[in-house]
Amino acid sequence: MCIKNSRQLKQVQRDFLTRDKQFTRKALICCGTGCLANGAQAIVDEFRIVMKKKRITGFSFEAVRSTGCHGFCEQGPLVIIEPEGIFYTKVKTSQVTDIIDTTIRKGVVIERLLFTNPVDGQKITHYPEVDFFTHQQRIVLRNLGKIAPHDIKEYIGNGGYAALDKALRRMQPQEVIDEISRSGLRGRGGGGFSTGRKWQTCADVESEMRYVVCNGDEGDPGAFMDRSIMEGDPHAVLEGMIIAAYAVGANQGYIYVREEYPLAVIHVQKAIEDCREIGLLGKNIFGTEFSFDIRIARGAGAFVCGESSALMKSVAGEVGEPRAKYIRSVVKGLYDQPTVLNNVETYANVPIIIDKGANWYCKIGTPKSAGTKVFSLVGKVRNTGLIEVPMGITLRRIIFDVGGGIIDDRPFKAVQTGGPSGGCLPDSMLDLPVDFDTLTANGSMMGSGGMIVMDDLTCMVDVARYFLEFLVKESCGKCVPCREGLYQLHGLVQKVCAGQGSEQDLDRMEQLSEVIVRGSLCGLGQSGPNPLLSTLKYFREEYLEHILHRRCPAGVCRDLIIYTINEKCTGCGACVKPCADVAITGEKKKLHVIDQDKCTQCGACMAVCNFDAVEVH
């Protein structure tokens, strides 16, 4: 089948909807990487086995959909029963028959499978009522968790490729660029560069060849926004890329996917093949003059490969090392041709902008940062996961409304945004609006959307040490300020962690950081000192505490803490086994003691003690 005109596209959509209407209920089973790891595939298989034996009017295995990630992976596997939106978490295979007989057949809710709100302990029945989802605004993630990502008909059925149809038939390439420019869309990969302006520059360069490339490298530790989009809604990314290619006049595209994302590769590959089959990729797309194709390039697995020039070298089969050139890749990029490089999330925004118009889009978010942003919210919040919120929302609302506040109601200490290139913001900044410029102005950055929430048990010196350690390992080693400078900077921070730092060391850190920022070749080095500089700026007393009093107030830095056992000890002996260094002795039912000479401050005893008897000082 080949779609050659708008009518045929509409027909595919209608066919899908008609087929869908015959089901009175549907079961959406999340099959993102997180839920699969928790056994989601077994749930799907169980549905298939059980439905072979049962006949239910208005339901069959065809109405069971393996969807992409909802972002609520820690509660997985998730099963949602539509149309009611009944929300089951941590589902087990043994419960599938019950779900079919009780909920799908009769519409009755199974209380014990419902999600318990961690804030008030109440059971929540429907999916949109969960705080985690209520406060979100899902535009980019609109299809995630709703549609089966490997089925192009389902994407089309939900309005997919209508934007491409509109762009190709009713808009000139320049009109597409103008629409994107007017929408105010800015790159979601880190820098926040205007997407429209980038496309315009590329289109304006005289050239025979042009490329459109999608950055799916996602190297930030703990981030999984782009992975989830590629896995859960690959066609949205492809549609965005095809529209971009039409706008700038490119005939070849690449999606650079990180090696560690096998499922994303499978889904994107399937999506590309399906597009080729129905004529949405390849020659004469939609029966027009426009031809474009996309290939997958597998990432080399290094953080620095996400940097634009390194990525392009890697796509071209060279070593993924940043290239030093004062000429931008939009002008001279992949194979030295003008190249548009955008992030996965950036492309996923494009179809909806074309579909609903720039005027609709730019009303979401703030005047200078339009639209929404997807974050991966992790750390010490009650609800962790993937979230999409309008730009301009405050950090407080993200952490306390979407995230449900800090675990165990401990005090909030800092939030780290922007991954290894970003910074830490303290509680005095909780009411800052989250947008590109505000975060940057305050020493952090949007980055690609990592957000780590920290409580009072987190040591900020240790946080700086952690990120520097990551960057020292990930520096490509090409230029001296980054390779040697970050290494020495890490050494200085480590000295502070060990209680051997001095006040002069703090000044030296700042001076060295400045040279690394100014002197490094690529963004990795140029922004590498950010986690250190921001913690130095907002948590200087904590550094001084380590230096002047050899004390780690959060009780994290091993060289500065001791563990002791207090009189709450019942002598249960639970701590003896985990203590691999056999530092704990004591008779049964009597107070145990820690031999400080043998203790390595691993904290294992504290983690297992049920009586709060182990203390850290």
Partner 1 sequence: MVTLTINGKQIKAPAGEMLLETIRRQDIEIPALCHHAAVEPFGACRLCTVEITRQSWDGWKNYVTSCLFPVEEGLIVQTHSSEVTRIRCTILDLLLASSPNSRVIQDLASEYGILASSYVVDAAGDDCILCGLCTRVCSELGMNAIATVERGRLKKVDTPFSEPSASCIGCTICAQVCPTGHIRFEERGLKRKIWYKEFKLIACSECGRSLKLTPEMKQYFSERQQLPEDYLEQCADCKQKQTVDRFNRIIDRSEEVI
Ligand X SMILES: Cc1cc2nc3c(=O)[nH]c(=O)nc-3n(C[C@H](O)[C@H](O)[C@H](O)COP(=O)(O)O)c2cc1C
The conformational region for residue 39 under phi > 0 = left, psi -120 to 50 = alpha, else beta, is left
Enumerate residues 6+ apart whose C-beta is below 8 A from 260.
301
Distance of closest approach, residue 514 Cβ to ligand SF4, in angstroms: 15
Measured in degrees and rounded to the nearest 5, phi and psi for residue 527 equal: -110, 0
- Nearest by Cα to 211 from 326, 316, 319, 140: 316
Distance of closest approach, residue 63 Cβ to partner 1, in angstroms: 49
H/E/C letters for each residue in 539-563? CHHHHHHHHHCCCCCCCCCHHHCCE
The number of CA neighbours under 13 Å toward the Cβ of 274 is: 19
DSSP 8-class letter at 433:
B
- Distance from C-alpha of 520 to C-alpha of 24, rounded to nearest angstrom: 60
CB 453 within 8 A of CB 426: no
Distance of closest approach, residue 289 Cβ to ligand FES, in angstroms: 40
CB 554 within 8 A of CB 463: no
Distance of closest approach, residue 485 Cβ to ligand SF4, in angstroms: 9
Enumerate residues 6+ apart whose C-beta is below 8 A from 609.
569, 574, 575
Contacted entry of ligand X, partner 1, ligand SF4, none for residue 583, CB cut-off 5 to 8 Å set by kind: ligand SF4
Alpha helices by DSSP H, 450-539: 460-474, 480, 486-497, 503-519, 523-527, 530-538
Cβ distance to ligand FES smaller for residue 149 or 306: 149
Contacted entry of ligand SF4, ligand X, partner 1, none for residue 519, CB cut-off 5 to 8 Å set by kind: partner 1
Kindly report the CA angle at 295 between 289 and 298, in degrees rounded to 5?
165
Q: Does 481 bind ligand FES (CB under 6 A)?
A: no
Cβ distance to ligand X smaller for residue 59 or 246: 246
Q: Does 30 bind ligand FES (CB under 6 A)?
A: yes
Q: Does 560 bind ligand SF4 (CB under 6 A)?
A: no
Enumerate residues 6+ apart whose C-beta is below 8 A from 285.
164, 168, 242, 279, 291, 292
- Structure tokens, 160: 């997919």
Distance of closest approach, residue 324 Cβ to partner 1, in angstroms: 3
Measured in degrees and rounded to the nearest 5, phi and psi for residue 49 equal: -65, -50
Distance of closest approach, residue 133 Cβ to ligand FES, in angstroms: 11
Distance of closest approach, residue 492 Cβ to ligand SF4, in angstroms: 18
Contacted entry of ligand SF4, ligand FES, partner 1, none for residue 93, CB cut-off 5 to 8 Å set by kind: none
Measured in degrees and rounded to the nearest 5, phi and psi for residue 360 equal: -65, -45
Residue 226 CB coordination number (10 Å): 31
Q: Does 483 bind ligand SF4 (CB under 6 A)?
A: yes
Q: Using CB under 6 A as the criterion, what x/- string covers residues 436-475 for binding ligand SF4?
A: ---------------------------------------x
568 pairs with which residues across the strands? none
Distance of closest approach, residue 270 Cβ to ligand FES, in angstroms: 18
Among residues 525, 529, 553, 555, the one that binds ligand SF4 under rule CB under 6 A? 525
Cβ distance to partner 1 smaller for residue 116 or 511: 511
- Structure tokens, 40: 């989601």
DSSP assignment of 231-269, as one string?
A: HH-HHHHHHHHHHHHHHHT-SEEEEEE-TT-HHHHHHHH
Cβ distance to ligand FES smaller for residue 225 or 489: 225
Distance of closest approach, residue 305 Cβ to ligand X, in angstroms: 8
Distance of closest approach, residue 367 Cβ to ligand X, in angstroms: 19
- Distance from C-alpha of 502 to C-alpha of 416, rounded to nearest angstrom: 26
Q: Does 219 bind ligand FES (CB under 6 A)?
A: no
Contacted entry of ligand X, partner 1, ligand SF4, none for residue 563, CB cut-off 5 to 8 Å set by kind: ligand SF4
Binding piece for ligand SF4, criterion CB under 6 A, among 105-113, 140-148, 442-450, 479-487: 479-487
Enumerate residues 6+ apart whose C-beta is below 8 A from 18.
none
Q: Does 387 bind ligand FES (CB under 6 A)?
A: no
CB 234 within 8 A of CB 274: no
Binding site for ligand X (CB under 6 A): 187-191, 193, 215, 217-219, 303-304, 306-308, 341-343, 346, 448, 522-524
The residues in 66-85 that bind ligand FES, with binding defined as CB under 6 A, are 69-73, 76, 78
Residue 21: burial class (beta carbons within 10 Å; 0-12, 13-18, 19+) = exposed
Contacted entry of partner 1, ligand SF4, ligand X, none for residue 578, CB cut-off 5 to 8 Å set by kind: ligand SF4
The residue nearest ligand SF4 at its CB is 525
Cβ distance to ligand X smaller for residue 150 or 188: 188
Contacted entry of ligand X, partner 1, ligand SF4, none for residue 366, CB cut-off 5 to 8 Å set by kind: none
CB 362 within 8 A of CB 211: no
Among residues 44, 130, 584, 613, the one that binds ligand SF4 under rule CB under 6 A? 584
Contacted entry of ligand SF4, partner 1, ligand X, none for residue 426, CB cut-off 5 to 8 Å set by kind: none
Contacted entry of ligand SF4, ligand X, ligand FES, none for residue 69, CB cut-off 5 to 8 Å set by kind: ligand FES
Binding site for partner 1 (CB under 8 A): 302, 304, 319, 324-326, 472-481, 483-485, 487-488, 491, 508, 511-512, 515, 518-521
Residue with tokens 């830490």: 424
Among residues 478, 490, 546, 592, the one that binds ligand SF4 under rule CB under 6 A? 478
Binding piece for ligand SF4, criterion CB under 6 A, among 7-15, 90-98, 133-141, 515-523: 515-523
Q: Which residues in this chain contact ligand SF4 in the complex, by CB under 6 A?
A: 304, 322, 475-479, 482-483, 520-522, 524-525, 563, 578-579, 581, 583-584, 594, 599-605
Q: Which residues in this chain contact ligand FES in the complex, by CB under 6 A?
A: 30, 32-35, 69-73, 76, 78
